Chain A
């Protein structure tokens, strides 16, 4: 499955559009990591636990999106975009969406 953030797959011709596909996940880190982050907040800097959490979640969102594209019979997703939002305290929704296409 090819994924790109541009409107085409370079070197390949788009033969069919399947419309929008999306994948999302809502994740929270357990209280221990959240507590650690709370302590780190005093001094600032990167919150590694959260960086890792969002990285994993984003991968999962992309995986779900490509799974949906596969179901439609597509072999590429173009113009992929991401979104993140806070659902409740400590939980985030990560969204990935794009256009499923068939390329040759």
Chain B
């Protein structure tokens, strides 16, 4: 009986988790296309100093967690080593989301480019999250620049 409950539980987590992921990837693609005009670069010296009007710090962050299915799958995969596919896609979409949030803030301010973009990632612990799905914060930050027109 217990094993049936467990399988149903994991099944629901899989279906809902995959649905959320698919939806998120679609919305990411859409919003990334919209923000193409505002590039975020990891270099800094691209724009000559006399062209820059103003600059300021922008950040974008997102806290994301894996689902129960991913936690169990990764537990099994870890035994053999290799790629943990579920978490790859999880971190990927969270990082992309954090870039979009950073760009949104820069855009609202009227910036033309973001330079010296850096990433930070940290694992968070929750009082109630003891099921090992993992909770991560991904942060992107950089210097937004407004160019002289």
**A interface, CB within 8 angstroms of B:** 2-7, 9-11, 31, 34-35, 37-38, 40-47, 50-51, 54-55, 58, 62, 80-86, 88-90, 92
Which 4 pairs across A and B sit closest by C-beta, in order of nearness? A44-B67, A38-B128, A50-B63, A10-B52
CB of B72 to closest CB in A, whole Å: 11
Between A and B, 23 residue pairs with Cβ closer than 8 Å are A2-B56, A4-B56, A6-B116, A7-B44, A9-B55, A10-B47, A10-B55, A37-B128, A38-B127, A38-B129, A44-B21, A44-B65, A45-B65, A50-B63, A54-B137, A58-B59, A62-B57, A80-B141, A81-B118, A83-B120, A85-B122, A89-B125, A90-B126
Q: A42-B68, A58-B61 are in contact. List 18 more A-B contacts (CB 8 A).
A: A6-B116, A10-B145, A34-B128, A35-B128, A41-B67, A41-B135, A42-B131, A44-B65, A45-B17, A45-B65, A82-B120, A84-B120, A84-B122, A84-B137, A85-B122, A88-B125, A89-B127, A92-B122
Tell me whether B20 is interfacial, beta carbon within 8 Å: yes
- Tell whether, in the assembled complex, residue A46 and residue B122 are in contact, meaning their CB atoms are under 8 Å apart: no
Interface set of B (CB-CB < 8 Å, partner A)? 9, 12-13, 16-17, 20-21, 24, 44, 47, 49-50, 52-53, 55-57, 59, 61-68, 70, 90, 94, 97, 115-116, 118, 120, 122-129, 131, 133, 135, 137, 139, 141-143, 145
A4 (CB) vs chain B CBs: closest residue = B143
